[in-house]
Every structure is written in C-alpha cells, then in structure tokens.
Amino acid sequence: MTGAVPVKPTFAAAVVDPVAFAAELIRAPSVTPRAADALELVARRLEAAGYRVERLTFATGGVPIPNLYARIGTEGPNLCFAGHVDVVPEGDAALWAHGPFAGTIADGMLHGRGAVDMKGAVAAFLAAALKAGQPAKGSLSFLITGDEEGPALDGTVKVVEWLKAKGEKIDHCVLGEPTNPVALGDAFKVGRRGSLSGILTVTGMQGHVAYPHLADNPIPRLVALVAALTAAPLDEGSDFFPPSNLEVVSVDVGNPVFNLIPGKAEARFNVRFNDLFSLESLKAEIVRRLDSAGVAYALDFQPGASQSFLTAPGPFTELVADAVEAETGRRPEPSTSGGTSDARFIKDICPVVEFGLVGQTMHKVDEATPVADLEALTRIYERIIARYFAAFA
C-alpha cells in the first residue's frame, strides 16, 4: 500500500511539462461557458498519448457546454482524474499585475485566471498520467468539464449520466480542486456539505405611510420569519462535518422611497448542511421554524440543491494521504469544509477525494500559484497513480 511501485506502461510514456502546459491552458481564455478551446488542448494531448477521447456536448440549459471523457485501458480498476477548465470572469483586467490570460511565469509564480482553480491541477495530473503511461492492468481516465463555475447543468452531472448509460465504470476518482488553505499538504477533501437555497416571500398591501390603516406592511412579518429561521443553530456538527449554517443573503422590498409602504417583502437564504440532515429533513426543519412564527408566507426552494456526502476513511483515502505526506512531509487533514464541487455528482458512481493546489488566490485578481507547488502536485499525482495500481490492480 505505501510502496511507490511504478506503473508498467504498455506504450512509450509521453512527457509533458506541467508548468508550460498550465500556462498554455491559461492562454486559452475559458470563462464559463466558453471552454471549448482549452478543453481541446487537453483532448489533443490525451489522443496523442493513446487515450480514447469522447467529446461530449450537452445543451439542456440552452447553451452548448463542452466536456470530455478519456480513457486508456479497458480493464478495471479504473482510476479517474476529474476537473474543469472553465474559469470565473477576470474582472477588471487593468488591475492585474500580469494579463489575466497571459499565462506569465515570473518570480517563481505562474500567473493567470485558472492557475489555481483549476487549470494548474489539470495540467499536473495530465503530466503525471502521461508520464506513467498505460497501466499493465487497469485503466486511467479523465473527466473534464467546461461547466463547473457556471450553472453546472450540462457538465459533470451530464457526463456521469452518460457514463451510467454506457455502463462505463469508474472505480475511484481524484478531483483536482484547490484544497489546501496555506501550504501544499495541508488538507484534502473527503466530503462536502450539502447546499439548499430558498426564497421567502411575505405579501401585504401597498399604501401611503401616512395612512397605515389603509395598507398592510409585510416587513414586520418577514422580520419575524427571519428571526425564527436564525434563532437557534441547526446542529452542533458531526464526526466528520462542521455545524450546518443557514445564512440570510438578501432582504429586499424593492422600495427606494420613504412615503410608501411596500406590498411585498422577500428574503433569500442558503443553508450549507452536514450529514445530520437530508434535503427532505432540512426542508421540514425550515418549514417547522417558519410555521412557529405564526404568520403567512410563501416559500420557494430553489433548484440545484445538493446532498452532503462523505467518502468514508479506508484504503483509498489513506493511499491519497500517504502520497501527499511522502512528497510534502505533511499528512493532510481530511476536510469537508468549503463550498460545493463536482464531487457531488461523481460520488454517485464511485468514491471520490479532492486534492489540488493552495486556494488563497482562487477567483481573485492576480490569481497565481508557485511553480514549485505545481511541480510538487504533479509528483503527488504520480505517487497516487503508482500506489493505486500497486494496491488495487
């Protein structure tokens, strides 16, 4: 399990410089959903190395979204690396010390949108997989999407459905999201909290503030409802998860003047919840709290909700932690904090863990990663590949 037994390639292994390739990916601007050019760079590298590449486009959300699934080998076990090449917008490009899509390497850093989240990791595990070559027994695969930073309607979730329909089995998956708070080796994700959003509406009657008896102000009732929602913690956390938290993110009546009682008041909220709740039990708790306020309301739970999940401790999680520790000297803490990721879809078909770069600059102006971290991440992925096929093949 802990020995780094090399994979025996059945064809000449390819050599890819992960830093140069990450810079190349950054230079292919891919703000969601325009990720086709960056995805094609990945596809061509994999095809040249002997991978069978499936280019998959879905458009149920109205905009064509490019994705790919690539595999080398036909036997199990199948170890998959997953990730995305779409990125968030760059904001004001004039604020960047280096062009957001220049892929500049300077002062030991790779600069550009996606360097951390997560073109750097895509380049690292592509370099690691191509260096390893085809396993003597088993398969390596890639699941790369162009719709992680967007609505996530036609990305990984659709590729997972496609894999199920084809009977294509993935045994384990490593997702390259940035997981480390401060230094490479700090943490890896073994689960994610669920997410549920809702819109709470109270309807009154619009009127003049000087004649309140002719109107019905909905704001006091909305305040009472928000107080009922937030009066007590949802829970105190569980063995693997921090406490669930409900955050009111907007309160709005759409009223810019001082002499008008509004006719409607609205609050929006999001809950990040742990494994003590299911979506159904959480919805029931929210309704119970709202009903306790004793006022009329309308509640609309939003689409896109996700369940919490956990990849239980075991040989696979230990293998990943061992590989990280062997390279960095730090044993990563198993974490379930943070937002959502495409792991919420992948967990439906196989155990998944997440390990990538340090996330301090992701989504920021001047996003950048140390070149040394990118090279070390590549070696960690190489160790994971070698240990995986020594243990599971």
**What is the set of active-site residues?**
86, 148
What single letter denotes the amino acid at residue 206? Q
- Would the CA dihedral through 208, 209, 211, 215 be positive or negative? positive
Per-residue DSSP letter, 12: P
* Contacts with 244 (C-beta within 8 Å, 6 or more apart), sequence order: 193, 233, 234, 235, 237, 271, 272, 273, 274, 276, 277, 282
What single letter denotes the amino acid at residue 172? H
Coil, helix or strand at residue 346: helix
Say if residues 166 and 74 touch (Cβ distance below 8 Å): no
Write out the two tokens for 101: 């899509």
- Between CA 349 and CA 173 the distance in angstroms is 9
Q: Crossing angle of helices 315-328/371-392, nearest 10°?
A: 140
Instruction: Map tokens 């001047």 to a residue.
Output: 366
Write out the two tokens for 67: 């994705």
Say if residues 118 and 176 touch (Cβ distance below 8 Å): yes
Distances in Å between the Cα of 30 and the Cα atoms of 109, 116, 137, 356 are 21, 14, 35, 20
* Contacts with 378 (C-beta within 8 Å, 6 or more apart), sequence order: 18, 124, 125, 127, 128
Coil, helix or strand at residue 266: strand
- Between CA 114 and CA 103 the distance in angstroms is 9
What single letter denotes the amino acid at residue 352? V
